[in-house]
Every structure is written in structure tokens, then in C-alpha cells.
């Protein structure tokens, strides 16, 4: 018995298809230097978000009117704002907020969108028509307008902004997952599972979902970039984070009035947004190339 | 083809109904009493009642929707709760400004995007290709309103580059290119980046196909193969992106118009949200979305006309 187990473990070590898949993915991902850099920058921002506030000993909301609108210096690396608040500290604290908004909203949009997409693709027929027409309705609102409309009724706050961006992300996930589910559904092993008497629930979550995971991961990474941009836009309009929250979009909005004398007030939060979005975009592109080599021309 | 067009037009009807229901519901999704929120915290009960009466909020919901839709179909989008003016008048005064801004941004995005994408694909894996793709990635990752602020900071402060779209004639045309160039660049850059990336990948896909190899094998020059054979087919998927980008610009105009103080529909929407003037928010969102649906319809039909091989079933 024990020999048998040992034998089985040995053969698994010799060829584990899942492990081979990961190895192949990692090999392709490593080759893509820019994706690697994107991943490292994403990791850097995550570390800044977690540990940054512990290392910065300046309160991001501490005002010092005598030191207002100071350009970057040794004392204030990124300068100070119109209330004399340290911009470096505000950027560090804002990193966590930016990433939370990005991750949570995409998670909300992802879970709802994947469920809709997988149900539409798996069942087809009228269910598919109803769900996808609903997605078409959500997609009929151009750009930021859907998120804007939702925030306008719920009121401007970070929570409401997350909900709005989450809903805004739903159709993108639903469409991609539906497409992938349609192709997986036709595979023979799904028919085999059905013939063996597996329930729809089991087939969907145990067999279809793992097979459509790659496009979901890629889409989620790229959607975080979109979510960060949308959040910055909403906060810039005063419909997201409210003062004195150190949110980057809101910081840009505050810097608008002092642009001529203190351009660092708009340059620094803007560069921070660009870097985070850029990192997620590059990382997402790299993941797509590695997870779906066929898409890599 | 006619059958396809009819089917595609019919398909937009449920979408338009869905959009109208969602826009109508906006007012009813407000937590609490919408009339109280519109009136403000210190408003008297009488004022709240008046607003309820004016907006018909006491009627059953399906009656409210029916009344709203019969008004919309006759061009009546209600009245502003702040100025009392007809929402349709407020929108009509600004509609073309936003459409023109989005149109110029689309022209810029298509021009820059196509040029960059073609150069990148033709000179693939060279320094030029890498440089263009890096710039495109930056363009994609930049908040357009931030780019606008930077442009104002660099070019406009102290100069006469600031747009004066607020003083536009009804046609919406600016007095000089200087006044429109900054908002158009601000709005169009992200789209240019997307079109450049799309054109490059589409061109590369086409270049690898057999018929291109055949064209080369029969001795055609690179120039003819690239521009006469490859580009024509590579452009087909780009058409869809252009349509989507135009829609994106309609939405993006919200931010661009706000930073450049352009009196278009985007700025009107933001001001209405700040003032809790929901009939205007509903009207503006409805008009922009319906426009977007029609743009997509036209794009889909032209996509079919351009590429007859697509099986639309």
C-alpha cells in the first residue's frame, strides 16, 4: 500500500500537468521584461501601501500654515500643499487608499460580472439574452458617465465610489467570461461530466470556472488600472473621497487653484497615478501574453 | 445586408428602453426622500411637497415612468429644479459643444493613433516601435484631466492659449485653433494610444497572413504590400475601436470641460450633480447615452460593410 502511494507520488513528481502549466506561464512571463518590471512596481506600491504609513512619521492631515506651498526640499521631499501639509506623507497614505479602491471595486465588479458571464455562457438561450442585454444597457453609458450617475444618486464618498466603479466594471467581466464559457461548454469533458450526473453548480464552479480563470485574471489586472483612473476622476470632480482624505485625485483637484505658483501640487499626485496605472497596465499586458500565448502576436 | 441593418436597429430598442429605465430610476435610487434631498436640509415641508408635486413623485412608479417616457419622446425632459428652465433647452445650448469637442478629439486620436500604429508595425521590433509603444502606454495610463492641467500649466498660464469655449457661437466653433487645441489634445491622447496599439497588433496579424506572403512572393514592393494590401484589412477592427473611443470621449468630456471651463454637456452634468438638480442629470445622461448607442449602431453597420466576410449570425 505504502509502496503504491510512493509510486503515485513519484509519478506525480515526474509529470504534474498543473505544475507544468505554471512553469510554462512563469517561463513566458519571465521572458517579458517589461511585464516583470510592471509586476515589481505593482509589488512596490503594495509594500508602500502596507508599510509606508509605519515609516512616515508625519501626519498626512497635519496643517502648518507658516509652511504652506513649499516646493520640494530636504525637509519636505514632495513639498507642501496650501495648508502646509506634507505632500510626501499624503502620497504615501494615499497609496493604500488608491489600491483599496482599485482592488475592492474590481473584486465587486469581477464577482458579479463573472457570475453573470458564466451563467449566460453556460445556460445560453433566454437567460443569455436577458443577461447580455442587461450588460449592453450598462455599456450604453459612455465612459465615466455610469459611475458618475451612480455616485450622483448615492452621494460622494469613498464607499459609494467603490460601488459605482464596481458596477461600471461588471459588463467587461461578463462579456469576457461569457465568451470563454461558450468555448469551454462545447468541450467533450463537460459533456462527460454531465453524463456522469454532475450538477450544473458543480460543473460551473469545479470545471468551467478554472478554465476561464486566465482571461479573468488578465481582465482584473487591467481593470484595476481603469478603476484607479476612474476613482481619480470622480474624486477630482469632488464626487469621491472628501477633504481632507489624502486621495490622489482629490489632491489634484485641490492643487488646481495653486497651479501657477506651486505646480508640484498637481505634478506629484499626477505622476503617482500615472505610475500605478502604468504598472498595472504593463503587468496586465504581460500576464495576457504569458497566460494566453496565442494572443501574443 | 438590409436584413442585418433592420435586425441591428431592432436590437437597439431593448437597449434604449433599458437605458431609459435606468436613467428614470436614478431619482428613485436616491437614499431617502429625493424631494427632501433636492430641496436641501433646511427646506420647509411646503417646499418639499412642491418639489414632490412638480416631479410627480407621488404617482405610482409605473405612471411616473410612463409620464417620463411620453415626455421624453416629445422632447420634454422636464424642468431644472434650480433654474426652472426646460432641461431640453439647457441641453440644446450645450449639445454641439460636447459633440464637436468629442469629434475633434476623435479626429486627432485617429490621425495620431493610425500613424503611430502603422509606423510601429512596419518597423516592428526596432527602436521606433519600442519608443512609440512606450509613449502609447503612458498615454493610456495618464488621467486625461491631469494632462489637461499640465498643458494649462505649461502653455496657457500667462498666454492666450486658454480656450474660450464658454463664449462659443451656437455652432460651437472656436475662434481659432489655439482655443481648441489644448482641450482636444487633453481628451484625444488616451484614445490615440488605444488606436495606436490596436492598429499595430491588427497590422501585425494581417502581415503574417498567407495572402500577404503571396503578394510579396509575386514581387510587389513592400510599400504596396503594406499600404494597399495589409492596411486595408488591418483597419477593419480599428473601426470598432474608433466608435468606442468617440463614446468614451463623450463621457471623458465631463472632466475635460470641467478643467477648461467649457460650457458643454459634461460640465452641465457635473454642475447639476453638485446642485442636486436631478432632472438635468437624467436628461444629460440620457442624451449622451442614446447618442453613444447610435454611434455604436453606425459603427457596427460600417463594420459589416467594410468586411463582408464576417458572419454576423
Of A238, A266, A208, A229, residue with least CA distance to B274? A238
What residues in B contact A278, CB-CB < 8 Å? 137-138, 141
What residues in B contact A270, CB-CB < 8 Å? 142-143, 146, 149-150
Check whether B162 has a pLDDT greater than 70. no
Closest residue on chain B to A279 (Cα) = B141
Inter-chain CB proximity B143 and A149 less than 8 Å: no
First-to-last C-alpha distance (Å) of chain A: 50
Q: Which of B99, B106, B143 to mutate to test the interface with A (most CBs of A within 10 A)?
A: B143
Give yes or no: residues B70 and B102 share one domain.
no
Q: Which of A34, A140, A234, A278 to mutate to test the interface with B (most CBs of B within 10 A)?
A: A140
What residues in B contact A153, CB-CB < 8 Å? 26-27, 29-30
Give yes or no: residues B46 and B188 share one domain.
no
Mean pLDDT of A190-194: 88
What's the CA gap between A15 and A49, in Å, rounded?
39
Q: Does residue A267 or residue B8 have the better pLDDT?
A: A267
Check whether B168 has a pLDDT greater than 60. no
Give yes or no: residues B205 and B107 share one domain.
yes
In a domain? residue B85:
no
**Contact present, A256 and A266 (Cβ < 8 Å):** yes
Mean pLDDT of A64-87: 92
- Give the 3-state secondary structure of residue A26: helix
Please tell me the number of Cα atoms within 13 Å of A71 on its side-chain side: 5
The region of weakest confidence among A52-66, B22-36, B170-184 is B170-184
Closest residue on chain B to A261 (Cα) = B153
In a domain? residue B13:
no
Q: Which of A149, A155, A232, A277 to mutate to test the interface with B (most CBs of B within 10 A)?
A: A149
Of A109, A256, A117, A222, residue with least CA distance to A169? A109
What residues in B contact A252, CB-CB < 8 Å? 143, 145-146, 149
Give yes or no: residues B55 and B114 share one domain.
no
pLDDT of residue B166: 41
Give yes or no: residues B132 and B228 share one domain.
yes
In a domain? residue B207:
yes
Give the minimum alpha-carbon distance from B169 to chain A in angstroms, rounded to a whole number. 26
Give yes or no: residues B125 and B66 share one domain.
no
Helix axis angle, A213-236 to A248-255, nearest 10°: 30
Give the minimum alpha-carbon distance from B251 to chain A in angstroms, rounded to a whole number. 5
Give the minimum alpha-carbon distance from A209 to chain B in angstroms, rounded to a whole number. 27
Inter-chain CB proximity B251 and A297 less than 8 Å: no
In a domain? residue B237:
yes
Label residue B186 by pLDDT band (50, 70, 90): very high
Count interface pairs A-B at CB distance under 8 A. 141
**Residue where a domain stops, chosen among B74, B106, B136:** B74
Closest residue on chain A to B281 (Cα) = A149
In a domain? residue B123:
yes
Closest residue on chain B to A280 (Cα) = B141
Give yes or no: residues B47 and B194 share one domain.
no
What's the number of domains chain B is made of?
A: 2
**Burial label, B162 (beta-carbon count in 10 A; 0-12, 13-18, 19+):** middle
Q: Give strand pairing partners of B79.
A: B86
Give yes or no: residues B208 and B163 share one domain.
yes
Query: pTM of the predicted model, to two decimals?
Result: 0.89
Write out pLDDT tens, residues A113-160.
Answer: 999 999 999 999 999 999 999 999 999 998 889 999 999 888 889 999
Label residue B224 by pLDDT band (50, 70, 90): confident
Give the minimum alpha-carbon distance from A3 to chain B in angstroms, rounded to a whole number. 53
Look up the ipTM and state it: 0.87
Closest residue on chain B to A255 (Cα) = B149
Give yes or no: residues B107 and B251 share one domain.
yes
In a domain? residue B281:
no
Q: Give strand pairing partners of A80.
A: A86
pLDDT of residue A14: 63
B63: containing domain: 32-74
Helix axis angle, B87-122 to B177-207, nearest 10°: 50
Give yes or no: residues B132 and B63 share one domain.
no
In a domain? residue B79:
no
In a domain? residue B138:
yes
3-state secondary structure B182-202: HHHHHHHHHHHHHHHHHHHHH
- CATH number of the domain enclosing B148: 1.10.3720.10
What's the CA gap between B281 and B266, in Å, rounded?
10
Give yes or no: residues B139 and B65 share one domain.
no
Inter-chain CB proximity A238 and B22 less than 8 Å: no
Give yes or no: residues B57 and B172 share one domain.
no
Q: For chain A, which domains are there?
A: 25-54+87-291 (1.10.3720.10)
Inter-chain CB proximity B255 and A155 less than 8 Å: no
Q: Which of B29, B131, B145 to mutate to test the interface with A (most CBs of A within 10 A)?
A: B145
Amino acid at each position: 500500500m505504502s509502496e503504491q502511494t510512493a509510486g503515485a507520488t513519484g509519478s506525480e513528481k515526474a509529470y504534474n500537468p498543473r505544475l507544468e502549466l505554471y512553469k510554462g506561464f512563469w517561463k513566458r512571463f519571465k521572458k517579458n521584461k517589461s511585464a516583470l518590471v510592471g509586476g515589481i512596481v505593482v509589488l512596490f506600491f503594495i509594500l508602500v501601501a502596507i508599510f509606508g504609513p509605519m515609516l512616515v512619521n508625519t501626519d498626512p492631515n497635519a496643517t502648518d500654515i507658516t509652511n504652506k506651498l513649499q516646493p520640494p526640499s530636504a525637509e519636505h521631499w514632495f513639498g507642501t500643499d496650501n495648508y502646509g501639509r506634507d505632500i510626501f506623507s499624503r502620497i504615501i497614505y494615499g497609496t493604500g487608499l488608491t489600491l483599496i479602491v482599485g482592488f475592492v471595486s474590481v473584486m465587486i465588479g469581477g464577482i458579479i460580472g463573472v457570475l453573470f458571464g458564466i451563467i449566460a455562457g453556460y445556460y445560453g438561450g433566454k437567460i443569455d439574452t436577458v443577461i447580455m442585454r442587461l450588460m449592453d444597457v450598462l455599456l450604453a453609458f459612455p465612459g465615466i458617465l455610469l459611475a458618475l450617475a451612480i455616485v450622483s444618486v448615492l452621494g460622494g464618498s469613498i464607499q459609494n465610489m467603490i460601488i459605482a466603479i464596481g458596477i461600471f466594471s461588471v459588463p467587461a467581466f461578463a462579456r469576457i467570461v461569457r465568451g470563454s464559457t461558450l468555448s469551454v461548454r462545447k468541450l467533450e469533458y463537460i459533456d462527460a461530466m454531465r453524463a456522469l450526473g454532475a450538477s450544473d453548480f458543480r460543473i460551473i464552479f469545479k470545471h468551467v470556472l478554472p478554465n476561464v480563470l486566465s482571461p479573468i485574471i488578465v481582465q482584473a489586472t487591467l481593470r484595476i488600472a481603469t478603476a484607479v483612473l476612474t476613482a481619480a476622476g470622480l474624486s477630482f470632480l469632488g464626487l469621491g473621497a472628501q477633504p481632507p482624505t489624502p486621495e490622489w485625485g482629490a489632491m489634484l483637484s485641490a492643487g488646481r487653484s495653486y497651479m501657477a505658483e506651486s505646480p508640484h501640487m498637481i505634478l506629484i499626485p499626477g505622476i503617482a497615478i500615472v505610475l500605478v496605472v502604468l504598472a498595472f497596465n504593463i503587468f496586465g499586458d504581460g500576464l495576457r501574453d504569458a497566460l494566453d500565448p496565442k494572443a501574443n502576436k | 445586408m438590409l436584413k442585418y441593418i433592420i435586425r441591428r436597429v431592432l436590437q437597439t430598442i431593448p437597449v434604449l428602453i433599458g437605458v431609459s429605465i435606468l436613467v428614470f430610476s436614478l431619482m428613485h435610487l436616491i437614499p431617502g426622500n429625493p424631494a427632501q434631498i433636492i430641496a436641501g436640509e433646511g427646506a420647509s415641508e411646503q417646499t418639499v411637497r412642491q418639489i414632490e408635486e412638480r416631479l410627480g413623485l407621488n404617482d405610482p412608479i409605473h405612471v411616473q415612468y410612463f409620464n417620463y417616457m411620453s415626455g421624453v419622446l416629445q422632447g420634454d425632459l422636464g424642468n431644472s429644479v434650480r433654474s426652472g428652465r426646460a432641461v431640453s433647452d439647457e441641453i440644446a445650448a450645450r449639445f454641439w459643444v460636447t459633440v464637436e469637442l468629442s469629434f475633434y478629439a476623435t479626429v486627432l486620436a485617429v490621425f495620431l493613433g493610425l500613424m503611430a500604429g502603422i509606423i510601429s508595425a512596419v518597423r516592428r521590433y526596432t527602436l521606433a516601435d519600442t519608443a512609440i509603444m512606450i509613449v502609447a502606454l503612458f498615454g493610456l495610463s495618464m488621467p486625461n484631466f491631469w494632462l489637461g492641467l499640465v498643458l494649462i500649466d505649461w502653455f496657457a498660464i500667462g498666454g492666450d492659449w486658454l480656450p474660450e469655449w464658454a463664449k462659443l457661437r451656437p455652432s460651437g466653433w472656436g475662434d481659432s485653433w489655439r482655443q481648441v487645441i489644448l482641450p482636444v489634445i487633453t481628451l484625444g491622447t488616451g484614445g490615440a494610444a488605444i488606436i495606436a496599439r490596436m492598429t499595430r497588433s491588427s497590422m501585425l496579424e494581417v502581415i503574417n497572413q498567407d495572402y500577404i506572403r503571396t503578394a510579396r512572393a509575386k514581387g510587389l514592393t513592400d510599400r504596396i504590400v503594406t499600404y494597399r494590401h495589409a492596411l486595408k484589412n488591418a483597419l477593419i477592427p480599428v473601426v470598432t475601436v474608433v466608435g468606442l473611443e468617440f463614446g468614451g470621449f463623450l463621457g471623458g468630456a465631463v472632466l475635460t470641460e470641467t478643467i477648461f471651463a467649457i460650457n458643454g454637456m459634461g460640465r452641465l452634468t457635473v454642475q447639476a450633480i453638485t446642485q442636486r438638480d436631478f432632472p438635468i442629470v437624467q436628461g444629460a445622461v440620457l442624451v449622451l447615452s442614446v447618442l453613444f448607442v447610435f454611434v455604436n449602431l453606425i459603427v457596427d453597420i460600417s463594420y459589416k460593410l467594410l468586411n463582408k466576410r464576417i458572419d454576423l449570425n
